[in-house]
Structure 1
Amino acid sequence: MTTDFPAADLAHEAAPVPTPTITVWEGESLFSRLIRTVILPLIGSKQVLRDVDRHARQLARTRLKGETPPPARVSRRYKITEKTFAGAKALFVEPKRGTAKRTIIYIHGGAYVAHLMYHQWHLVEGLASWNDARVIVPHYPLAPEHDWRPAFAMMMALYESVLSEVGADQITLTGDSAGGGFALSFAQLLRDEGQPLPAKLVLFSPWLDLREDNPAQAALDCDDPMLARPVLVWSAQKWAGETPLDDPRISPVLGDIRGLPPTLVFSGTADLLHSDSLDLIARAQRANCAMRLVIGERMTHAWSVLTTREAKRLHAETAAFLR
């Protein structure tokens, strides 16, 4: 189901008034249910994320391996080049044939401490193929070695470079999980500094409130087979550094969302961070911002990176939104 932002009554030729909307996708495919109820519990990521020391050891081993390279199928279909901005690299994923119709900047998640993971390449590939797009993937500086500041500096250098090539109306800013929060924070920064804004924002299972003190998370924790608060709290503190967690650059849901581009948000009811998206749409409703929240019933955190029927529907909805 696709719902356009309703327009205002044009009888008096008034400008359209953006109206936030919420759409609920019901049902769950067998594969998605298998992931939620069997595969994710067997992997045991929730148990790891409850133990900060265990997570830190596992993270150190993973980080030693470096960034996950593009799968062979992506390398076959797309030309991948590397560029450096403010000392950090970004991958440019472009069609080998034809010309990209738009540029999508995709900021990967991982609680601000993890490299781009294998399954997130599914999301990169989907964004590129469904939207005939060039997808730019920043490998931004991570915590705990860095706080948020070097990552923002890198993103600003990248964004200004892209602006020199294409107009802002050809740029979409996206992100999943922590990357979704980063995308929203960065859009707020662009607005506040008077920079040209991207045409659209798309946030997948975004992490928007790093204070991690929302009482609504208690109920969501029972249904979430993946995330746990202890490591989220640790990661938030490392990313924030000396900056208070309620600073909008850290927790963008607490910032001013007026004047931002039209925004599409995807969130699932089996996601510990679902309350963040509910808070965001509530703020959009109070401020009459152009925002749409798609709620996937029983969808887990980061369902956008999977190859399920629901993820394909998510890509189709995103493509319709970007047209």
Structure 2
Amino acid sequence: MTQQQRQALDDLLRHGPLDLEGDLAEQRVVFHDMIASVPLPDDVSTTPGRLGGIPVVTVETPENDPSVVLLYFHGGGYGLGSAADSAGLAADVARRTGARAISVDYRLAPENPFPAAVDDAVAAYRALLHDGTPSSKIALVGESAGGGLVIAALVAFKEAGLPQPSSAVVFSPWTDLTLSGDSMAGKAAADPTLTEKGLRTRARDYLGETDPASPLASPLFADLTGLAPLLIQVGSHEILLNDATRLATRAAEQDVPVELQVWTQVPHVFQGFAALLDEADAALRAAAAFTQAHWPAG
């Protein structure tokens, strides 16, 4: 874990082409091209399909156990990204966990505003249960907006009377669409990728006329009582730092088993850069250990 690695990643991200507040059609192409520039390892397979009518991509690595499932939710501010785009990071988690990952292609805004993404998450999870996978063998994983969606989905599962999954892991979750965290300003200079203006633009697209403090849009403000055990990972160099720390505090206050890991001097969703950054590999191994610890014995 070297300062040189962290600085190299910071420089790479600061000079990248992605502009979260830019024209959405253009930035969707940029986002896809950035991810596609790093090919999947040869031993990773991806299979498109549908789950509860929702498009998904099943991501498998050698020797994974098909009986345990990571239900994965990609990032992109609710307006960018796809299940296929997230396959690389989903595969990294799946490989270390020994499970297959099912990445959910939830509908994007502004074409499909809130609560479309939450509805799709519930539909996919309900179908997985209906198909015979017990909740004890399902874990949720999400990054950025997908991390916020994981928390919102857990709340929606509870409201729908569905059992909670075995656990949930969220990387740099966006949980407060009111953008009220102190780190929005306090970490603005340190964050090489996200800006408050960019998040506000994407939040407006996602919310439409919905109050940004609505619990299923901003799950920081939801009743978290009874949710599955949570692992929250966040970098200290990101404006969403307080979305993660406040989520951990609220979860603990409401008796949710929760672990918070703040990784110093690393950016938003640093776990996606395991090939460049030792901290990313260590964080992924910690996420895998947490998830495995909550699978059924045997």
Q: Equivalents in 2 of 1:322, 1:115: separation in Å?
A: 24
Name the counterpart of 1:281. Answer: 248
The separation in 2 between residues aligned to 1:243 and 1:217, in whole angstroms, is: 21
Moved more, 180-189 or 222-231: 222-231
2:159 to 175, 189, 192: 192
Contact 1:68 1:116 in 2 (8 A): no
* 8 Å Cα contact 2:74/2:145 also seen in 1: yes
Over residues 156-177 of structure 1, what are the superposed CA-to-partner deviations in whole Å (9 max), with x where a residue is unaligned? Answer: 2211221122110000011000
Work out the CA distance in 1 between the residues paired with 2:86 and 2:237: 19
Does the C-alpha gap of structure 1 residues 161 and 273 become closer, same or farther in structure 2, counting only changes over 3 Å?
same
Q: TM-score, normalised by structure 2?
A: 0.88
Conserved? CA contact 2:114–2:210, under 8 Å: no
State the alpha-carbon separation in 1 of the partners of residues 88 and 230 from structure 2: 22
Higher-Rg member (1/2): 1
- Deviating more after overlay: 302-311 vs 176-185: 302-311
Tell me what 1:116 maps to. Answer: 82
Distance 1:40 1:64 in 2: 15
Determine the structure 1 residue equivalent to 2:102.
136
Matched, 1:43 2:20: no
Counterpart selection for 2:186 from 219, 229, 241: 219
Is structure 2 residue 12 aligned with structure 1 residue 56?
A: no
Matches within 5 A, 1:140-219: 140-163=106-129, 164-219=131-186
Among residues 261, 269, 272, which one is paired with 1:305 in the alignment?
272
Counterpart position of 1:321? 290
Choose 123-132 or 166-175, whichever is displaced more: 123-132
RCO higher in 1 or 2 (8 Å CA, sep ≥ 6)?
A: 1
- Residues 64 and 284 of structure 1: CA distance in aligned 2, closer, same or farther (over 3 Å): closer
C-alpha contact (below 8 Å) 1:101/1:131 kept by paired residues: no
Q: Distance in 1 between matches of 2:177 and 2:7?
A: 28
- Alpha-carbon displacement from aligned partner over 1:225-277 (angstroms, at most 9, x marks no partner): 11111121111121112221100110001111110011000011101100101
Structure 1 equivalent of residue 296 of structure 2: none
Runs (5+) with no aligned partner, structure 1: 1-26
Q: Report the alpha carbon displacement of residue 61 of structure 1 after superposing the two structures with TM.
A: 4.4
Is the counterpart of residue 292 in structure 1 residue 259 in structure 2? yes
2:8 equivalent to 1:34: yes
Q: Which runs of 5+ in 2 are unaligned?
A: 293-298
Letter in 1 for 2:113: D
Assess if the C-alpha contact under 8 Å between 1:120 and 1:305 holds in 2.
no
TM-score, normalising length: structure 1: 0.81
**Preserved CA contact (<8 Å) 2:52 2:126:** no
The one-character-per-residue Cα deviations of 1:70-122 (angstroms, maximum 9, x if unpaired) are: 9352xx42443222246541011234656335200110000001023987433
Give the letter for the 2:8 counterpart.
L
Q: State how 1:229-308 maps to structure 2 within 5 Å.
A: 229-307=196-274, 308=277
**Count, aligned residues:** 288
Q: Which residue of 2 aligns with 1:9?
A: none
Identify if the C-alpha distance between structure 1 residues 132 and 236 changes in structure 2 by more than 3 Å, giving closer, same or farther: same
Alignment partners' CA distance in 1, 2:173 and 2:119: 21
8 Å Cα contact 2:14-2:192 kept in structure 1: yes
Once the two structures are superposed, residues 202-233 of structure 1 have per-residue CA deviations (whole angstroms, 9 ceiling, x without a partner) of 00000000011334421111111111111211
How much is the aligned-residue C-alpha RMSD, in angstroms?
2.5
Paired residue for 1:23? none
Write out aligned runs for 1:68-83 (5 A).
71-73=39-41, 76-83=42-49
* Percent identity between the two aligned chains: 26
The 2-side partners of 1:69 and 1:128 are apart by 21
Residues 101 and 132 of structure 1 are in contact (CA less than 8 Å); yes or no, is this contact kept in structure 2? no
Question: Cα distance 1:300–1:97, how it changes in 2: closer, same or farther (>3 A)?
Answer: closer
Report if the CA contact (8 A) 2:231-2:259 is conserved. Answer: yes
- Rounded to whole Å, the distance in 2 between the matches of 1:101 and 1:317 is 21
Cα 1:141–1:68, aligned 2, differ >3 Å: closer, same or farther?
Answer: farther
Distance 1:296 1:284 in 2: 20
Equivalent residue of 1:225, what SS?
Answer: coil
Query: Aligned partner of 1:71: which letter?
Result: P
How far apart are the structure 2 equivalents of 1:321 and 1:97? 20
Shift of 1:28: 4.6
Q: Does the 8 Å contact 1:197/1:260 carry over to 2?
A: yes
